Each structure stands twice: as structure tokens, then as C-alpha cells.
Structure 1
Amino acid sequence: MNAAVLVKDGSEATITGGTVTSEADGANGIFCYGGNGGQNGAEGDGTTVTIRDTVIKTTGDGSGGIMTTGGGTTYAYDLDVTTGGRSSAAIRTDRGGGTVVVDGGTYTTSGLGSPAIYSTADITVSNAVLTSNLSEGVCIEGLNSITLNDCDLTADNTKQNGNATFLDTIMIYQSMSGDADSGTSHFTMTGGSLTSKSGHVFHVTNTNAVITLENVEISNEDSDNILLSVCDDGWDGAENEATVNASAQALSGAVLVGSNSTLTLNLTNDSSFEGYVDGKITNANGETVSTEAGTVSVTLDSTSTWTLTGDSYVTEFNGDAANVVSNGYTLYVNGTALTGTK
């Protein structure tokens, strides 16, 4: 373990103000290690870091801003964190997980494979500005979670890293490396803004993911306008499964579900979806991943609508067909055109 500040062995550390700088590879700014030996799901030894009003800057590879592993607990308030190296998430976790609670501050990365947040833990961030200038905005691996409340997240993922064959802003996956237990991944975002400058807004592969969105301002600046892809990528060993729960949420763009993949899309509480569902998928390398849609279930409550921007293919539709605006296109349910649409 290497860091500018390392806290372990059941210690409780409080840091207020000041500047923490790290220039070496593998040297996190603040490292909270909970002592569980990297055993995912195991309790830590009580190691806790509370840090506020501090500037943290790292420039080496493998050097996160605030790092939590081994079941540690980190509370961070109003930090200014920047990282420049490869594999250097501003809010970083690794094997053994832990709990991270962040309120306020700015978190900026510019390295390859360096999202603003990388989660193999349970992470909650509120009222923060999160920016990734080269990589995904956030990554969740396996049985872990990220919750964002009133945050502004921007990502410009223009270069692939490792096994990845897609570019995306929210990546939810399982690498099978042992860094995270397999299970359901959770991404929850309430309020704030999500700006995706390159690639797909959401990408789910090799895991089961639940994405919950409420009143988020989503801006997709990529010309392909792909909201979500659920499909094969550079990892295997598990299914590609996603559930998207949208409440009081406007969604737009293509939803792509691979032929061996599954999506459940639930729109409630005056939500709207302007887009289409299909299974024709090409990755960032120009390779064909899928040619037809997999298993897709869409549910609209009585207050929510779907406006088609292309012919769409689902296996199940629940709701009033009158809440589907055909816009000159056709919604096929198990190969049969849905009637009664507007």
C-alpha cells in the first residue's frame, strides 16, 4: 500500500484543510484501508477517514484521489481532487470494498481508465461536480453501488481501456478478476445533470444492473445518440441484464439490447422516452456485436409516454397503447405490430 496519507489498523483520522500531493505511481492521495485482506463482503476493522476542505492532487498512474479498500470507511466533504495518471479514479475503491460518503467538492480526472468514480464498494456522492476528461464518468464492478444526489457529472470517454470495446459514460460490468463479487450492481441518480460527450450514456455488460433515475437532466452530445446498450463486450462469465427504473424522468436516444441480453424498462410518474429499441449493435472497433434484439420488457404507467423515433422490437409491453406515439414508426411486440398507438 502506497499513499501520501495511509490510514489503517482500525485508526480514525480527521483531516481538515491543507493540500495533499502525490507524484509517484501507485501513490493514492488519501488511502483508507479497512484491514479485511481484500475479502469482498467481509467486515473491516473500523478504520475511518473524515476529510474536509482539502485539495488533493495526484499525477502518477494507479494513484486515486481518495482510495478506500478492505472494508474501510471514508467521509469526504468539499474536497478539490484532481488526478492525471492512468487507472487513477478521483473517488477510487478496490478489492475488499467499503463505504464512501462524499458531500460537495469537485472531482476531476484526465487519465486513461480513470473515471471520476470507480466502485467496488458502496459509494454515495451528493452536491458534487464530477468530470472525466478521457474515461468513463463512473464505473461499477459487480455487487456494488453508486448513488448520486444532485451532482453534475460530465464525461468525454474518447479512448478505450483494457478489454473494453465500447465508449460510454456510465459503465456497469463484471471483470471476473476477483476485485468484486458477482451480483446485482446498482446505479441511482436523483436530480443534477449527466452530460455524455462521447459514446453511449449507459453500458451494461457481463452483470445484472439496476439503474434508477429521477429528475436527472441528461444531455447526450454523441452524434449516434445511444442512451443505453446491454450486450457483450470484452468480458464473459455472466449474463448481460439490466433494469431501468425511470420516475419523473425524460429519456431520449436509442436503446440497444443484444440478442443474448435482457432489459426491463419501467417508466412511471410522468416519465417520457423518445427513442427506439433495437438489437443492431456495432462496437467502437466497428465489429458487429448483435443483429437483433434480445429479451425486452417495457412498462408504461398511465402518466408516462413513449414516442418512437424508429421501428422498435420488444418481447413484452405493459401499459396503454395510446401512450405510445408512433410518429410514423411501428412497435413490434413478439413480432406483432402493436395496435392502438397514437
Structure 2
Amino acid sequence: GGAGVFAYGNGTAYVSNTTITTAQDTSGGIHVAGGGTLYAWDLTVETSGESAEAIRSDRGSGTMVVDGGSYTSNGVGSPAVYSTADITVHNAALASTGSEAVCIEGLNTLRLFDCDLSGNMSDLEQNDCTWNVILYQSMSGDSQVGNSTFEMVGGSLTAQNGGMFYTTNTESTFLLSGVDITGAADSKFLLRCTGNANQRGWGASGANGADCHFTGSDQALDGDVIWDSISSLDFYLTQGSVLTGAVLQDESCAGDGGDGYANLYIEEGSTWVVTGDSVLTSLQCAGTVVDADGNTVSITGADGTVYVSGTSPYTITVQSYSATPDLSGASTPDLWSDYEAVRP
């Protein structure tokens, strides 16, 4: 099916104060591909077909800036936003009633400023897990291989089902700052940074992990962080952020394993509230590490070295520990004004 408004190649589309409704499969609401550019203000967009995202992009990338409005996808496999482009959205309501909230593939970006975002993905046998926001590389040719970026500043993020963030078979960057996050009642993770079983052709089994940088800046984060040895994870807590959860190593999709790692960096003033025994490669902490009762958590080296002797029943096992975190890899929030377009 056709999109409501479509920009391709050298084309630039401007659309404002318009209602767009589509019913067919692959009929996105607003859509860029092939390098097209689209600017939108205060739209009301609703789609109902499969693979029919309210905000949609396709092969060849493009640029989209959206300011205000409501964008709802109702079909199966139809996130509110599907990004194979550079997309920035401000002050909008974004919802998927039958799919994950966001899908970003390959060398592409989604920035959300003061948006309300929600998803409701079904549990499917072909998937290793269920997620609300995915950064990945499908190998379909829809996007150039490279770093996928998801940035959300302010607003709210809600998952009706499954875990919150999943990254696999790609390089990826997540930045959350000041977002009101509500996980699903059955959520199994905050972040899953692992390989996958290749049931959908996402890379070669045992070699399709993720290389992920995740930053929480002035951010409350709730849920477990899962990683494997074919992935690399650098997780930063800055500007008074709080992570409540455990960090778990899960080798179920790692094949014969690899040389991956999971490093956690905690800035002074930030806190990790540990909810279970955890495994990290490196913990660099100038902040606080306690359990939910305020007890100090033991930090022990894999070689038996006791770095911190705590009173909590939980233990963090690490390869290395430092009280001076290297925060040079942490992301900092962008400003909407850097992307805002003037309405013609």
C-alpha cells in the first residue's frame, strides 16, 4: 500500500495540521526513503496494516523532523517508529498497539524529545525474547551496517509486554535522560545485549552479538541487564541516575562464546540498587552500590579478591574493580533546538 506522505531522493515534503489514515499493509503514515526529507507539524496519523508504521523509513535512509501530533500504529509488525533514517521527534504521542514501540536498524538514528512512547509486542516463537525498543541489523539490505542510536530525553516510555530494550547483531548506542519509564508486569529485562538464535536471519549464530554503549543520565532505570560473551557492553550511570536490578550473563545465544565483556561505570552521585547476584567484567564506581534495604553489596574478583565486603546477601563478581570510573564513553543529551525546523 501507499504511504500518506512520502519523500524520496532529492524530494522534500512539508506537512502540517493534517490527519492521515491508512489501512493497507506496508502503508506507512509519513515515510522517507532513498535520501528523502520530510518535515511534519501537529499531524494526527493512524495506520492499521502490517508493516505499516505511523512514522516509517526504508532503504536509502533519509531525514525526518516531526514536531507535535499523535502517531499510532495498530498492525502486527508495525512499530510506532521504524527507523532506517535520521529521525527526530518532539512533543508527540507515539503508540503501537500491536508491535514494539520502536525499531532501529543499522546505521540510523531516532531522537525523541518530550514524547510519550508506548508499545505492545506479542510473544512470538520465532523470537528469542520480546522487547519494546530494538536496535539491530536484520541483514535484509534495508539499512547500511553501522551504529544504531536511540536517544530519548524527557517524556515517557511504556512497555505493555516483554522487556524494554534489546540489541543484537549490531553496534548500538542508547541514551535515556529524564524519561518516565514503565516496564511491563512480565518484563524479564531492562536491557538485553546478546546474540540471537538466528531464527530470523540476523547474523551468524554464535557471532551475532551486540556492541553497545548505554547511558542513563539523570535517569531511573528498573530491571535486569543481560549480556553474553559474544557482545560488548559499556553501561554508564551519570548525573544522579539509579539502576535497580541485577547484571546477568546469559550464554544461551553465544554459541562457543567469545571475548566479550560487560563494564558498568557509576559516576559519583549515581546509584546501583542490586537485586540479585551479578556478573561483570569491570565495575568502576565512584557512586553507591547497595541492595534495596540499603546494605552494602560485596564485590569480589573472579580470582577470589575481595574488593568490598558487604552485608547484603548479594555478591557482584568482577574481573576488575576501580573506584575511579572512566566516563569518557558516556553520552550526553542533545537539545531539541539543535534539530528544530522552522515551519514555512
Q: Give the TM-score, by structure 1 length.
A: 0.82
Match of 2:40, SS?
A: strand
| Alpha-carbon distance between aligned partners in 2 of 1:60 and 1:338, rounded to the nearest angstrom | 59
Which residue pairs with 1:215 in the alignment? 178
Which residue pairs with 1:323 in the alignment? 288
1:313 aligned partner, one-letter code:
V
User: 8 Å contact 2:193–2:209 — kept in the other structure?
Assistant: no
Task: After TM superposition, give the deviation of residue 224 of structure 1 in Å.
Answer: 3.4
2:264 aligned partner, one-letter code:
V
| Alpha-carbon distance between aligned partners in 1 of 2:122 and 2:301, rounded to the nearest angstrom | 35
Pair 138,314 (structure 1): closer, same or farther in 2 beyond 3 Å = same
| Alpha-carbon distance between aligned partners in 1 of 2:244 and 2:300, rounded to the nearest angstrom | 16
Pair 290,96 (structure 1): closer, same or farther in 2 beyond 3 Å = closer
Which residue pairs with 1:93 in the alignment? 57
Among residues 163, 172, 176, which one is paired with 1:200 in the alignment? 163
1:53-111 deviation per Cα after TM superposition (whole angstroms, max 9, x unaligned): 11111111111001100101000111111110000111000000100000111111111
| Alpha-carbon distance between aligned partners in 2 of 1:130 and 1:326, rounded to the nearest angstrom | 35
Does 2:305 match 1:339?
no
- Gaps in structure 2 of 5+ consecutive residues: 312-344
2:308 aligned partner, one-letter code:
T
User: 8 Å contact 2:123–2:129 — kept in the other structure?
Assistant: no
Listed as ranges, the matches of 1:94-173 within 5 Å are 94-160=58-124, 164-173=127-136
- Gaps in structure 1 of 5+ consecutive residues: 1-25, 35-44, 282-287
Does 2:37 match 1:67?
no
Task: After TM superposition, give the deviation of residue 259 of structure 1 in Å.
Answer: 2.9
Does 2:141 match 1:178?
yes
Among residues 277, 281, 297, which one is paired with 2:247 in the alignment? 277
Among residues 248, 264, 288, which one is paired with 2:218 in the alignment? 248
| Alpha-carbon distance between aligned partners in 2 of 1:332 and 1:177, rounded to the nearest angstrom | 43
| Alpha-carbon distance between aligned partners in 2 of 1:61 and 1:332, rounded to the nearest angstrom | 53
User: 8 Å contact 1:185–1:210 — kept in the other structure?
Assistant: yes
Which residue pairs with 1:236 in the alignment? 203
User: 8 Å contact 2:164–2:187 — kept in the other structure?
Assistant: no
Pair 126,255 (structure 1): closer, same or farther in 2 beyond 3 Å = same
Match of 2:129, SS?
A: coil
Which residue pairs with 1:23 in the alignment? none
Match of 1:289, SS?
A: coil
Pair 290,253 (structure 1): closer, same or farther in 2 beyond 3 Å = farther
Among residues 263, 282, 291, which one is paired with 1:297 in the alignment? 263
User: 8 Å contact 1:170–1:201 — kept in the other structure?
Assistant: yes
Among residues 235, 247, 255, which one is paired with 1:265 in the alignment? 235
| Alpha-carbon distance between aligned partners in 1 of 2:301 and 2:56, rounded to the nearest angstrom | 42
| Alpha-carbon distance between aligned partners in 2 of 1:115 and 1:152, rounded to the nearest angstrom | 14
Q: Give the TM-score, by structure 2 length.
A: 0.82
Which residue pairs with 2:152 in the alignment? 189
Task: After TM superposition, give the deviation of residue 153 of structure 1 in Å.
Answer: 0.4
Equivalent residues, number: 298
**Mean CA deviation greater in 218-227 or 232-241:** 232-241
Match of 2:190, SS?
A: strand
Task: After TM superposition, give the deviation of residue 196 of structure 1 in Å.
Answer: 0.9
Among residues 33, 47, 72, which one is paired with 2:8 in the alignment? 33
Pair 309,75 (structure 1): closer, same or farther in 2 beyond 3 Å = same
1:61 aligned partner, one-letter code:
D
User: 8 Å contact 2:161–2:187 — kept in the other structure?
Assistant: no
**Mean CA deviation greater in 291-300 or 236-245:** 291-300
Task: After TM superposition, give the deviation of residue 134 of structure 1 in Å.
Answer: 1.2
Task: After TM superposition, give the deviation of residue 255 of structure 1 in Å.
Answer: 0.6
Task: After TM superposition, give the deviation of residue 228 of structure 1 in Å.
Answer: 0.7
1:255-296 deviation per Cα after TM superposition (whole angstroms, max 9, x unaligned): 111232221111111111110000237xxxxxx436999511
* Sequence identity percentage: 42
Higher strand share: 1
**Mean CA deviation greater in 151-160 or 200-209:** 151-160
Q: What is the Cα-based RMSD across aligned positions, in Å? A: 2.1
| Alpha-carbon distance between aligned partners in 2 of 1:220 and 1:147, rounded to the nearest angstrom | 20
| Alpha-carbon distance between aligned partners in 1 of 2:41 and 2:303, rounded to the nearest angstrom | 52
